[in-house]
A and B are shown apart, each in its own frame.
Chain A
Amino acid sequence: MINWKVLLVDDEKDFVLTLAERLGLRGIEVITAFDGEGALQILKNCRPDVMILDLMMPGMSGSVVLEKVKKLYPGLQVIILTGMGSTPEGTTGVDLCAFEYLSKPVKIDDLIDKIGRAIKKGSAVN
């Protein structure tokens, strides 16, 4: 596969590591972070193609992270992957900024499909 670079942010370590391994098996480079601060730290040094972000996290919440990321790196496409519902309802304020909303658990093929679209959109913008 083409060398996609994905930043995966979620407080569930087991989930992050397993998903990272599965994406890795499919030739996608995955950088992992377990909270919002960690994710922002990583973004200072490297630039992934897509960011996959959970909303409900201890410390900095997903929506705050999304806001900051959109401010600092407007070109970066963000996919929200959360345990809450799959539609923007109840997540006021963030629906405009995220590329896509997905709800857990998600099928791996759906996720890869969305990542592909996000990257396509990102390259079109840049």
Chain B
Amino acid sequence: MKPLNDMISQLVGIPAEDGAPKGYRTAKRNISILILVITLAPTIVMTAINYLEYQRSLKEEILAPMRALVNKTKDSFELFLSERLSTLNFISSAYTYDELADEKKLNRIFRVIKKEFEDFVDLDLINSDGTHISYAGPYYSQNGNYAGQGWFDQVKVKGVYVSDVFRGFQRFPNIAVAVQHIPNDGREWILRATINIEKFDNLISSMNLDPESDAFLINHQGVLQTKSKFYGDVLEQPPLVPPKSLEPIVIEQTDYLGRHVFLAYSYLNYTNFIFALVRPLPDTLKEWYISRAGLLISLLAFVVGIFLMVLKLTDITISRIKESDDKRLLAMREMEHSHKLASIGRLAAGVAHEVNNPLAIVNEKAGLMKDLIEYRADFPDREKFLNLVDAIIQTVERCRAITHRLLGFARRIDVEIQILDLNEVIKETLAFLEKEALYRNIAIKLNLDKNLPRILSDKGQLQQVFLNLLNNAFAAIETGGTVYVATFDRDEKMVGVTFEDTGQGMSDETLKHIFEPFFTTKKAGYGTGLGLSISSGIIKRLGGEMGVRSKLGEGTTFTIYIPKETLQQTGDS
């Protein structure tokens, strides 16, 4: 479990100990990304699979049959054409040029062919110079020369030619086909026939298309060669040109009627024709298309929802972690602080005690000297010596005051609730700062309520708070200012103390943060940013309240309300 936890921690970058703000931001980003990937990946994969599955079934159920049908019908067209061309080739091979040049003979051959293939309309013989030789058919024979015409050049090059559709006799749609024959004696000729292509319509109708579908021939230039149900009559140009492709292909597009259609088509060999099949999107798929849009929208909404939720959750989680980290850090610092105070206290007590003993000896020796001088009336320079000894005794008294203050400080470390005269506690605390006040020309004005009731509270803790506030007041004053300290009886339950200074004051922005741990305006290394947060913590523990009022450039006032009776709490500090 541990390596896994480590790996995840490393992955998301949770700061190990007292992490910098950057660490929390990185962790937030990484956790968000991780959760998003975990939650969104399956959805997206599922959607992708669904989409691909759709594509596959589309191919199987619609596209493949279409392609097969197009291929089959294309083969029928090609067969039709190749039968006609074979017939011409057969005639060319079976008869000589002279026989074909005889119009009577040609007419007889034409009638025989007509029995087999009634769609032959007429038959022409043209020699290699392009000169028309003979004709069989319903029209009158036309003399002329075809040399230089496109179809003639093509048949000379390729040996075979199939024309586009044109309207011929009785406006029937016709095509012209021609083959070139090169006999052994080298007198080549061209046999040309006109063919009625009404049969093309039969080929298309034999496909048994549903009413919504459409099939037609179209040439490379996009002109319809057969009638189309939706895209116009023969020789009209529909707004639909399939891109060039040798393989039968199916494309998806929207036609000019606004229908979503599949267009399957294939190029016919030796001709200018393309066979095309148009089939609209089946209803089942139409529904799928509509629901696909809905699906996409709901997927998007889902993704956005998850995204926002993950961001919010991560935000909350990380700020909770940060909060508890801060709290733990504060508790640690507080403990460290009180440990430090305790050891300073022990040291102070030790020093005081050790100093008191020799001090007592000095005191007694000096006292004895004084006694001896006083008991001997004839002591020379009696007055002078008495003064000297008194000076020693007074100095001892001064030292005694110092050591006793130190002992008092040491005792404050132990938490205990006792009966206190708050005014005395304040005076005692101020004694620590008297010298500094003197050096820095800071006046301390006391306005202590003489009738202040004694309270039941913790002297040491209160002194720590007072000392902190007085130190802050001193720090706020450059030189030459005043610190006002006042006590008053607020109500039946609380007494109040105010510490007011004429220092630099604080901005509203600073005021917002002063009770937060680690907030400091002092230079790095000069303040821990813990003083006020610890102080407000102490006052809260004692059941009191702490408030502040400040104006930039005018000064700051801290007000503390302390309950008259603080119940001894168990297990707390």
A86 cross-chain contacts in B, Cβ below 8 A:
404
Task: Tell me if A106 and B360 are in contact (CB < 8 A).
Answer: yes
Q: Are A83 and B361 in contact (CB under 8 A)?
A: no
Q: Among B353, B360, B372, B375, point to the contact of A105 (Cβ < 8 A).
A: B360
Q: How distant is the Cα of A103 from the Cα of B359 in the complex, in angstroms?
A: 11
CB neighbours (8 Å) of B411 from chain A are 85, 89-90
A18 contacts B364, C-beta separation under 8 Å:
yes
- A22 to B411 CA separation, bound complex (whole angstroms): 33
Distance, CA A90 to CA B372, complexed state (A): 37
Interface: B508 (CB within 8 A): no
* Separation of A104 and B18 alpha carbons in the complex (Å): 48
Bound complex: CA of A80 vs CA of B363, how far in Å? 18
The answer to whether A15 and B364 touch across the interface, beta carbons within 8 angstroms, is yes
Q: Is the interface of B mostly helix, strand, loop or mixed?
A: helix
For chain B, the count of residues having a C-beta within 8 Å of the partner chain is 26
B53 at interface, CB cutoff 8 A: no
A-chain residues with CB within 8 Å of residue B361 when the two chains form the complex: 12, 14-15, 18
Verify A104–B371 contact, CB threshold 8 A.
no
**A67 located at the interface, meaning its Cβ lies under 8 Å from any Cβ of chain B in the complex:** no
Interface hits, B350-386 → A, CB 8 Å? 352-357, 359-365, 367-368, 371-372, 375
Question: What are the interface flags for B419-449 relative to A under an 8 Å C-beta threshold, 1 for contact and 0 otherwise?
Answer: 0000000000000000000000000000000
Say if the beta carbon of A28 comes within 8 Å of chain B: no
What chain B residues lie within 8 Å of A37 (beta carbons)?
none
Please, how many angstroms separate the alpha-carbon atoms of A105 and B365 in the complex?
11
- Interface presence of B517 (CB below 8 A): no
- Among B360, B368, B396, chain A packs the most CB atoms within 10 A around the CB of B360
Residues of A with C-beta under 8 A to B408: 85
Instruction: Known contacts A12-B360, A90-B411; decide if A83 and B353 are in contact (CB<8 Å).
Output: yes
Within the assembled complex, what's the spacing in Å between the Cα atoms of A109 and B396?
16
B368 partner, pick from A18, A85, A89, A103, beta carbons under 8 A: A18
Asked if A19 and B364 sit within 8 Å, CB to CB, the answer is yes
A21 B368 Cβ-Cβ under 8 A = yes
Task: Give chain A's interface residue range (CB within 8 Å of chain B).
Answer: 20 to 34
Q: Are A83 and B356 in contact (CB under 8 A)?
A: yes
Closest beta carbon of chain B to A115's beta carbon, Å: 15
Set of chain A residues within 8 Å of B532, measured between Cβ atoms: none
The answer to whether the Cβ of A31 comes within 8 Å of any Cβ in the partner chain is no
Docked complex Cα distance between A108 and B362 (Å): 13
Instruction: State A56–B411 Cα separation when bound (angstroms).
Output: 17
Q: Which of A14, A19, A56, A104 has the most CB of B within 10 A?
A: A104
Could you tell me if A105 and B371 are in contact, using CB atoms closer than 8 angstroms? no
Tell me the minimal C-beta distance from B525 to chain A in angstroms: 35
Say if the beta carbon of B111 comes within 8 Å of chain A. no
Known: A22-B368, A105-B396. A12 touches B357 (CB 8 A): yes
What's the Cα separation between A106 and B408 when bound, in Å? 17
User: How far apart are A88's CB and chain B's nearest CB, in angstroms?
Assistant: 11
Q: Is B27 an interface residue (CB 8 A)?
A: no
B326-347 contacts to A (CB < 8 Å): none
- Nearest A residue to B365 by beta-carbon distance? A18
Q: Which residue of B lies closest to A81 (CB)?
A: B360
> Is residue B349 within 8 Å, beta carbon to beta carbon, of the partner chain?
yes
Judge if B156 is at the interface, Cβ distance under 8 Å: no
Please indicate the chain B residues that have their CB under 8 angstroms from the CB of A40 in the complex.
none
Are A105 and B356 in contact, CB atoms less than 8 angstroms apart?
Answer: yes
Q: Does B400 contact A (CB under 8 A)?
A: yes
- List residues of chain B with CB within 8 A of the CB of A103: 356, 400, 404
A96 at the interface (CB under 8 A from B): no
The reply to whether the CB of B407 lies closer than 8 angstroms to some CB of chain A is yes
Chain B positions within 8 Å of A, measured between CB atoms, are: 349, 352-357, 359-365, 367-368, 371-372, 375, 396-397, 400, 404, 407-408, 411
Q: Give 9 closest A-B pairs by Cβ, nearest first.
A: A83-B356, A105-B363, A104-B360, A18-B364, A105-B360, A85-B407, A83-B353, A104-B356, A15-B361
Binding site for B on A (CB under 8 A): 12, 14-15, 18-19, 21-22, 25, 56, 83-86, 89-90, 103-106, 108
Can you list 23 A-B contacts with CB-CB less than 8 angstroms, sorted by A residue number? A12-B357, A12-B361, A14-B364, A14-B365, A15-B357, A15-B361, A18-B367, A19-B364, A21-B368, A22-B368, A25-B375, A83-B352, A83-B355, A83-B356, A83-B357, A85-B408, A104-B357, A104-B359, A104-B360, A104-B363, A105-B364, A105-B400, A106-B363
Known: A89-B411, A105-B397; 8 extra A-B contacts, CB below 8 A, are: A12-B361, A19-B364, A25-B368, A56-B353, A104-B359, A104-B363, A105-B360, A106-B363
